[in-house]
Amino acid sequence: MAYLNVGKENSSNIELYYEDHGSGDPVILIHGYPLSGASWEKQIPVLLAAGHRVITYDRRGFGKSSQPTTGYNYDTFAEDLHKLVTHLKLRNFALVGFSMGGGEVARYAGRYGSKDLSKAIIIGGVPPFLLKTADNPEGVDGSVFEGIQKAVAADRYTFFTEFFKNFYNTDLLLGKRISQQALQASWNVAASASATASLACVPTWHEDFRKDLTRIDVPTLVIHGDADRIVPLAASGQRTAKLIKGARIAVVKDGPHAVSWTHADEVNSELVNFLGTGVAKKAASARR
């Protein structure tokens, strides 16, 4: 278990919990709302076996990280990520962001550029811009996000129960691609998150990442389920792939929002093919 101090709130340190496993080219996995780094459990062993160093961390307010009442905006999230990269002295690293984590990938590139960044992967990400505005008619009406905020403020535990139904498309996939126990585990992680973070993150979902995406100049893969009810493919993944020069999109047939769990085999195959086989794996093969 490791923690990184990324700031202070009054007398308390703000610390990010992170895990750092394996060796080879680093891959940082950035989780979605309202989960934690543990949500990557179906990807971690596959990436380790492919010879990568795999790093996960919990966003401030979630998982085992500190629960401050400040810093719930993408500039701060990207700064937290940059502090982790700097602390670990990472070189030639890849960023993989799911849902909200796709926003960190975009904002990190927008603020810090591509120095030492080798590749980027966005899975079911919130970019490029989910809010409907005069110059973004494809977006979602602001009243939708306001309604979500009211639901979270009124009773976040009930909200999480309803949210996860569409997160995993349980009406179609429960008992087939996700178990009741795994669904409950997700709810338990969400319930342990900061009440402040649970509410404050909602308006960040419609951050405008359009300029950030145009700054991504490394090989990029976008993975998105075509049955995503949380962040629809047409409003996000397809548009993101068009804004990033040379990006490739992989659409997961019948995939819900959380394809990294329900369609882990498909996602893992795309990840390994795109990231390649790490140095450690190559060295092991050479010894045989």
Q: What is the pLDDT of residues 50-81, one digit of tens each?
A: 999 999 999 999 999 999 999 999 999 999 99
Q: What is the pLDDT of residue 268?
A: 98
pLDDT digits (tens, 9 = 90+) for 184-238: 999 999 999 999 999 999 999 999 999 999 999 999 999 999 999 999 999 999 9
> What token pair was written down for 95?
């960023």
pLDDT tops 80 at residue 172: yes
pLDDT score at 118? 98
State both tokens at 117: 């960044």
218-229: burial string, b at 16+ Cβ within 10 Å, e else: bbbbbbbbbbbe
Start-to-end C-alpha separation, the chain? 33
Say if CB 129 and CB 210 are below 8 A apart: yes
Provide the pLDDT for residue 282.
46
Determine, yes or no, domain membership for 253. Answer: yes
Residues 6+ apart with CB under 8 A from 44: 21, 29, 54, 56
Q: Answer yes or no: is 260 within a domain.
A: yes
| Closest C-alpha to 238, from 132, 144, 124, 97 | 124
Higher local confidence (pLDDT), 207 or 284: 207
Q: Is residue 109 assigned to a domain? A: yes
Maximum separation of any 2 CA atoms in the chain, in Å:
60
pLDDT value at residue 278: 62
Interval 125-139 mean pLDDT: 95
Q: Which sequence positions are flagged as catalytic?
A: 99, 228, 257
In a domain, 262, yes or no: yes
Percent of the chain residues topping a pLDDT of 90: 94
Q: Which residues of 74-112 are buried (b: 16+ CB within 10 A; e: fewer)?
A: bebbbbbbbebbeebebeebbbbbbbbbbbbbbbbbbeb
What pLDDT is recorded for position 281?
Answer: 47
**Token representation of residue 93:** 């690293």
Token readout for 64 is 């085992």
Q: Which helix (H) or strand (E) holds 110?
A: helix 100-112
61 is in which domain, residue-wise? Answer: 2-277
In angstroms, the CA 51 to CA 72 distance is: 34
pTM of the model: 0.95
d(CA 222, CA 64): 28
What percentage of the chain reaches a pLDDT higher than 70?
96
Residue 254's φ and ψ, nearest 5 degrees, are 65, 15
Q: Is residue 282 part of a domain?
A: no
Q: How far apart are CA 219 and CA 125, in angstroms?
A: 17
Tally of CB atoms within 10 A around 191: 14
Domain count, the chain: 1
Cβ-count burial of 184 within 10 angstroms (0-12 exposed, 13-18 middle, 19+ buried)? exposed
For residue 238, what are the contacts with CB-CB under 8 A and spacing of at least 6? 224, 249
* pLDDT of residue 48 exceeding 70: yes
**d(C-alpha 19, C-alpha 40), whole Å:** 12
> Does 284 map to a domain?
no
pLDDT of residue 138: 86
- For residue 163, give both structure tokens: 């949210």
Question: Is residue 130 exposed (0-12), middle (13-18) or buried (19+ Cβ within 10 Å)?
Answer: buried
DSSP tag of 59: P
**Is the residue at 285 inside a domain?**
no
Average pLDDT, the chain: 95
pLDDT value at position 132?
93
8 Å CB contact between 190 and 35: yes
> Quick one: pLDDT band at residue 277, thresholds 50, 70, 90?
confident
Helix (H, G, I), strand (E, B) or coil at 227: coil
- Report the CATH number at residue 116: 3.40.50.1820
Are 198 and 34 contacting, i.e. CB atoms less than 8 angstroms apart?
Answer: yes
Residue 168 lies in a domain: yes
